[in-house]
Chains A and B, each alone.
Chain A
Amino acid sequence: MSEFENKLIDQFNMMPDYSITALFVDTDQYFPAITNTLFYTTEQREMGGGYVTITRPARAIMNKLLAQKIRIADTYFIDCISYMVGGASMASKQVVNLESPTMLETVLLKVDWAFRQIAAPQKFLFLDSVNALGIYNRDKILKEFLHVFINRLRARDIFSIMLVVGRGLPRDLEEILQMTCDETVDLRKKV
Chain B
Amino acid sequence: MPARKRCVTGIEGLDAALNGGIPEGNVVLLSGACGTGKTTLGIEYLTYGAARGENGVYFSVTEPYEKLLENMRAFSFFTENLIEENKLFIIDVSLLYNRLGLLGEDRTIEDIDTLLWALIDTVRALHIKRAVIDSITAICSRLAQPSKIRELVFNLSRMFTHFGVTTLLISELAGSAGRYSTYDVEEAVSDGIILQEDVERMGNMMRTIQIIKMRGTAHSRAKYVMDLSTEGALMVPLLKWGLSGE
**Residues in A whose Cβ lies below 8 Å from that of B231:** 113
Asked if B179 CB lies within 8 Å of chain A CBs, one says no
Query: CA separation between A138 and B246, bound complex, in Å?
Result: 8
**Contact in complex: B202, A102 (CB < 8 Å):** yes
Chain A contact residues: helix, strand, loop or mixed:
helix
Asked if B236 CB lies within 8 Å of chain A CBs, one says yes
Q: Interface size class for chain B?
A: 10 to 19
**Contact in complex: B241, A109 (CB < 8 Å):** no
Query: CA separation between A106 and B242, bound complex, in Å?
Result: 12
Nearest chain B CB to A95 CB, angstrom units: 13
A16-24, A141-149, A162-170: which lies at the B interface? Answer: A141-149
Asked if B239 CB lies within 8 Å of chain A CBs, one says yes
**Contact in complex: A102, B239 (CB < 8 Å):** no
Question: What's the count of A-B pairs with C-beta under 8 Å?
Answer: 50
Asked if B218 CB lies within 8 Å of chain A CBs, one says no
Asked if A140 CB lies within 8 Å of chain B CBs, one says yes
> How many residues belonging to A are interface residues under a CB distance threshold of 8 Å?
20
Which A22-47 residues have C-beta < 8 A from chain B? none
- Residues in chain B within 8 A of chain A (CB atoms): 201-204, 206, 225, 227, 229, 231, 234-242, 246
Taking A99-B204, A113-B234 as known contacts, 12 extra A-B pairs with beta carbons closer than 8 A to each other, sorted by chain A number, are A102-B203, A103-B201, A103-B204, A105-B206, A106-B206, A109-B225, A109-B234, A109-B235, A113-B229, A138-B241, A138-B246, A144-B240
- Residues in chain A within 8 A of chain B (CB atoms): 96, 99-100, 102-106, 108-110, 112-113, 136, 138, 140-141, 144-145, 148
| Closest A-B pairs by Cβ, 6 of them | A105-B225, A141-B241, A140-B241, A100-B204, A102-B202, A109-B227
